[in-house]
A = this chain, B = another copy of it.
C-alpha cells in the first residue's frame, strides 16, 4: 500500500512521496523504513528524532520537525487518524469472505434472516430470532429464541445470546460472551435460597463492544441495559438491572452489582468493583482495583487502593493499620494534654 492510497482514503496532508510503499504500522520505537508510525502523546516527541519509520503521522504543531526527518502526514488528531488507519488496514489484510450460511449451522425455520448474513459452522439460531442485514455469526454461536441482532453486528465464535435479548447495530461481541443468563436473585427462606425467576431481558444499544467471556445478566423484572457506544473489556460482570450510560468503558475483570446505574462517559479501571443499587453521575472515573460502595454524584476520579510495597514494609504498615483508630485516640489524648 502506498502513502498516496492511504491519504486519498483517509485524508490528512501528505508531506512526502505518494508512491512510498508501506508494509506495516508500528510504534515509533519499533518502526523500520517500511513502517508508518504516529506521534499522539507529546511526551514521546523526542522519538521523532530517532525513529526509523518511513512515514510519521503528526499534529500540525510538529509539522516542521516531522517533515525535516522524512515523509509525514499532518492530521489534527494523530491518534484518531491512527485508529482509522488501523481499520483501513484491517480491511485490506483481512478482507471478509462473501457472506454464506454454513451447511452445518442449525437455523430454525422461523428465524428471520436479513440480507448478506454470514453464519459460521455449527452456529445455532433458535426459533423466532431476527438477524439484521450484514450480521456475522461465528462458529458455535447460539442466538436464543426471539432474540434480535441489529444490522452489521459481528458475533465472534462461541457467543451466547439468551432468548428475547436485543443487540443493537454495528456491535462486536467476542468469544465466550454470555448475554441473558439469569440474574443472581434469591429470597432467603429458613436458611435456604428460593429462586426468583428473572423475567426481564438484556437490551444493548448500537456500537457496543464486549470482550471475551464477559457476562451481562438478564433483569429480574425490568431489563439490563447497555446504552450506545459502551465498551467492556474481557471477563467483565454486569449484574441484573444494571444500566450503563452511553460511551462508558470498563477494563478487564470489572464487576458491577445489581441495579446500579452508571452515567454516560464513565470509565472503570481493571478489577474495579461497583456495589449494587448505586447511582454514578456522568464522567465518573473509577481507578483500577477500587471498590465503590456509595453513589457518586460529582464527576471526577475516585480511588481506593492499598498502595503496594515490598512485603516486609507492607506487613509493618498493615499491622499498624489494625490499631489506627486507637492511634487516633492516643493522639487526641496527647493533644488534650499539650498546652
Known: A213-B213, A235-B237, A321-B307. A83 touches B290 (CB 8 A): no
Binds B, one of A7-15, A44-52, A136-144: A136-144
Of residues 114 through 159 on chain A, the ones whose CB sits less than 8 Å from some CB of chain B are: 120-122, 124, 126, 138-140, 142, 144, 156-158
Q: Number of contacting residues on A, CB 8 A?
A: 127
Check B222–A234 contact: CB distance below 8 A.
Answer: no
Contact status of A77 and B321, CB under 8 A, knowing A86-B196, A273-B288: no
Q: How many copies does the complex hold?
A: 3
Stretch from A54-62, A66-74, A244-252 contacting the other chain: A244-252
Contact partners of A104 in chain B: CB under 8 A: 106
Inter-chain contact A176/B174, CB cutoff 8 Å: no
In the assembled complex, A1 has its CB within 8 A of some CB on chain B: no
Which positions 235-278 of chain A face chain B at CB distance < 8 Å?
A: 235, 237, 239, 247, 249, 251-253, 255, 257, 265, 269-271, 273, 275
Chain B residues with CB under 8 A of A178: 158, 174-176, 212-213, 234
With both chains docked as a complex, state the minimum distance between the C-beta of A283 and any C-beta of chain B, in angstroms.
10
Chain A residues with a Cβ under 8 A of chain B = 25-27, 30, 77, 79-80, 82-84, 86-87, 89-90, 93-94, 102, 104, 106, 120-122, 124, 126, 138-140, 142, 144, 156-158, 160, 162-163, 172, 174-176, 178, 181-182, 184, 186-187, 189, 191-199, 207, 209, 211-213, 215, 217, 220-222, 229, 231, 233-235, 237, 239, 247, 249, 251-253, 255, 257, 265, 269-271, 273, 275, 286-293, 300-311, 313-325, 327-328, 330-331, 334-335, 337-339
